[in-house]
Amino acid sequence: MSSLPKIGWIGAGRMGVPMAGFILKAGYPVVVYSRSAASRGKLVAQGAVEATSVAQCACETEVVFSCVSDDTALREVALGLQGVLINAKPNTVFIDTSTVSAEVSAEIAEEARKIGIPYLRIPISGNAASARIGNVTALVSGPETVWNKVRPIVESFSTAQVYLGGGEEARIMKLVVTLLVYATAQAMAEALTLGRKAGLDWSLMLDTLGQSTLASPWLIAKVALMKPRDFTPTMTARMILKDLDLMLDAARTNAVPLPVTALTRQLTQALVGEGYGEEDYMAAIKLAEKQAGLSADQIDFKP
C-alpha cells in the first residue's frame, strides 16, 4: 500500500487537469471533483478516483487542492455547507491554486484557523500550455512548516516554487506578475502594429524581438505563436478581465495609482466587444491593427 498521502483535487479546467495529471504520474492517489462530469473523466482516465461532490473529495483525502475560476467559486468550495473546511478531516491541508483576491483568501484563512485546517495559498504563474508540460511557477504563502511538508507534491507539477510569506503575499505576487504580462502584451500589440504599418516584414520583426534584450521565456513563446498568427487561447481575453479587476481592486485598497493597468483593462474590454473575447489575449494585436487602419492585404504575413 502506498505511503503517499491521498490527494483531493477540486476543479478540472484548463489548468487543473494537467497539474493534477502530474500528481498522478508522480504516484500519488488522487480523488477528483469538478462540476463537469466530462472534465472529471479526463483525470479518471489517467487513474484518479471520481468524487461526486466537494464534500466527498474533502473527507476522503489528506491534502486538498482547489483550482477554480474566481472569488465566488472559491468561497463556495471552501466555506459552503458542502465545502472543504466543514467536511475535511482534522489536519487536512487545504491548498488553493486559483487567482483570487487577497480579501477572500484572508477570509478563508481565518475560518481555516478557527477549525485547525492548515491553509496554503499557491496561485500559479503560467498558462494552460505551460501547465501541460509542467513549466509553471508556484507562488506560495501560508504556514511555512506546512509548505515544507507538501512541497514534493507541488514540485511534481511545477518547475519553480517561491515561498513569499505567512499570509496573502502569494495572492499579491500573482497580481504583480500578471500585471506585467498583460501590460507587456498590450505594448507588444502596439509595437508590432507600428512596425507592420511602417513596412517591416512580420516574421523578421518577430524574430528580431526574440533575439533582442527584451527576450524572455514569455516573449519567445508568444513570438512562436504570433508568426503564424495563432490566437488559440492560452488565456482568453474575456478571462483576463477578472484578473485586471483584481489588480485595480488591490490598487484601490493600497492607494496605488495604476494608470497603465486601467487603460489595459479598457482596451481588453474593447477587445471583447469587438468579438475577440474567446481568443488568446494576444488578439490585442488584431484590435491595434484595426485601429491603425491596416487591411488584411497590408497584414499579409509570411509564416
Mean pLDDT computed over 136-152: 98
pLDDT digits (tens, 9 = 90+) for 225-283: 999 999 999 999 999 999 999 999 999 999 999 999 999 999 999 999 999 999 999 99
What length is written for the chain? 303
The string of DSSP codes covering 195-231 is: HHHTT--HHHHHHHHHTSTT--HHHHHHHHHHTTT--
pLDDT classification of 128: cutoffs 50, 70, 90: very high
What does the pLDDT read at residue 298? 63
Can you give the pLDDT at residue 295?
77
Burial label, 232 (beta-carbon count in 10 A; 0-12, 13-18, 19+): exposed
pLDDT attached to residue 1 = 44
Give me 249's grid cell. Answer: 481592486
C-alpha cell of 1?
500500500
* pLDDT above 80 for 19: yes
Specify the CATH number for 173-299; select among 1.10.150.130, 1.10.1040.10, 3.50.50.100, 3.40.50.1240.
1.10.1040.10
pLDDT of residue 296: 67
Rounded to whole angstroms, the Cα distance separating 135 from 125 reads 9
What is the CB-side half-sphere exposure of residue 235 using CA atoms within 13 A? 23
pLDDT band at residue 62 under the 50/70/90 scheme: very high
Mean pLDDT of the chain: 95
Q: What is the pTM of this model?
A: 0.94
Domains of the chain, by residue range, sit at: 7-167, 173-299
The pLDDT score that the predictor gives to residue 303 is 40
Phi then psi for 286, rounded to 5 degrees? -60, -40
- Mean pLDDT across the stretch 20-36? 97
Percentage of the chain surpassing pLDDT 90?
A: 95
- Checking if the pLDDT of 49 tops 70, the result is yes
Is 12's pLDDT higher than 80? Answer: yes
Give yes or no for residue 300 having a pLDDT over 90: no
pLDDT band at 302 (very low <50, low <70, confident <90, very high): very low
Helix then strand count (H, E) for the chain reads 15, 9
Mean pLDDT of 211-217: 95
pLDDT tier, 3 (very low <50, low <70, confident <90, very high otherwise): confident
Domain 7-167 identical in fold to domain 173-299: no
Classify domain 7-167 by CATH number: 3.40.50.720
Contacts of 2 (CB under 8 A, 6+ apart): 27, 28, 29
Report CA 113 to chain centroid distance, whole Å. Answer: 26
